[in-house]
Structure 1
């Protein structure tokens, strides 16, 4: 908590947070251009904010993007304003965070594991880059990214799924909320990708938690995605293992 208030004590760091609040996911060059700071100064302040948990870095190819993370600040403020309750939206994020952390002590509903001949960087990029996702997802015609949210669009133009990244451990772990859009009132769940690099290959594990009743087909979908991902990375060609038409 001390690191949060230390980070906020500097006006330049508050300016950086304001810049990310207005346009999330900016690169170091973009932030340097928007603020009266040197490149070294921006990088130094970003490091303090990242240590405090207020900024998250995500590497996309040659560029590193910076995202605002307001949850640690909300937790700190909640220590004193709990009698008045935190704003509902923020409280919802905190509840979700607690739920996600609880997965470390619970057994997932579904686990899938595969081995892919590729580098750790290539696998990470394929799991986080929207354009690459569309090349191996079994049904999505394209995928778009808006901050931490990835939207999968079906061939008919309708949203079929939104995956919201909630916690990233670069190159090794991605935790996300799974929000179905293919039918009304389908409950949310969450899943985790785990990357373990080896000698010329990576072991990829998928854990899915809180799969709702009637979600038996989730396993088939993950298997098709993993097969497309493996073929795409090993052969370099877009591959979709689509379900057979009835």
Structure 2
């Protein structure tokens, strides 16, 4: 945690994080133009942020794209702030007019997240593919059932919330799935996107990377949900406790 506070102490690094929050997936060239310093200086700041796990990168060809990784910040919030918040979540969901069509595009991710989890590779694979496990760590789901290749999530009052259909599995290392939200109600069509889980064993731990692609306009807020879901996954696997990191009501 010391590396997080050290990384956040510099205003230039905070500016880089703000920029990646507003526009994920920027290259070094994109970021360099936002700071009054040399390319090498920006690279040094990005190295500090990457060392603190506050950003993750995705390499495509000769370009390297940078993404804000909110999970370490979530751990700081969970330690000091979350216990002070008592009221449950309530957020409006945007209605969408268009739906993603055609085959998946091989683009860079819209956002990425990474976290280390103290568990075995088998345990993490089971948690990500088992419906009962998903119901335990998903930040808002009341239940989850498997329907063939699909994991079907429902809210605590049994309304259909989300369908994630596995499209390609590489056992214990990679899961590719579609992401089909239904939380706006049965009469509202929301666009479909896709995500990838990557599992890398790291001694007694596993490094889990999430990549989310092709997010329709209006659904950028799914990153907040992923932050809470992956925080719940880490807590559940490391402690056995199911904790719902729900949204908090915002006061006017």
In 2: Cα distance, 1:107 partner to 1:216 partner:
15
Structure 1 equivalent of residue 175 of structure 2: 174
Q: CA deviation at 1:245?
A: 2.9
Name the structure 2 match of 1:138: 139
In structure 2, distance between residues paired with 1:179 and 1:214: 14
Alignment of 1:193 onto 2:194: no
Q: Choose which of 213, 216, 225 in structure 2 pairs with 1:212.
A: 216
Are 1:221 and 2:225 counterparts? Answer: yes
Taking the aligned partners of 1:185 and 1:153, their CA distance within structure 2 comes to 17
Counterpart for residue 108 of structure 2? 107
Q: How far apart in 1 are the matches of 2:134 and 2:249?
A: 22
Match of 1:203 among 207, 232, 252: 207
Pairwise CA distance, 1:215: 1.4
Kindly state the Cα deviation for residue 239 of structure 1 after the two structures are TM-superposed.
Answer: 1.6
Matched, 1:240 2:244: yes
User: What residue in structure 1 maps to residue 36 of structure 2?
Assistant: none
Question: Which has the larger helix fraction?
Answer: 1
The runs of 5 or more residues in structure 1 that have no matched partner are 1-94
Asked if 1:119 corresponds to 2:120, the answer is: yes
> What does 1:1-246 align with in structure 2 at a 5 Å threshold?
96=103, 99=104, 102-103=105-106, 106-183=107-184, 184-246=188-250
State how far apart, in whole Å, the 2-side matches of 1:162 and 1:123 are: 20
In 2, the alpha carbon distance for the partners of 1:150 and 1:108 equals 22
Distance of 2:122 and 2:196 partners within structure 1: 17
Provide the rounded CA distance (Å) in 2 between the counterparts of 1:161 and 1:126.
17
Which runs of 5 or more residues in structure 2 are unaligned?
A: 1-101
**Structure 1 Cα separation of the partners of residues 150 and 223 of structure 2:** 22
Indicate the structure whose relative CO is greater, using CA pairs within 8 Å and at least 6 residues apart: 2
* Runs of 4+ with deviation above 4 angstroms: none
Q: Distance in 1 between matches of 2:117 and 2:191?
A: 31
With the length of structure 2 as denominator, give the TM-score of the two structures: 0.56
Aligned pair count?
146
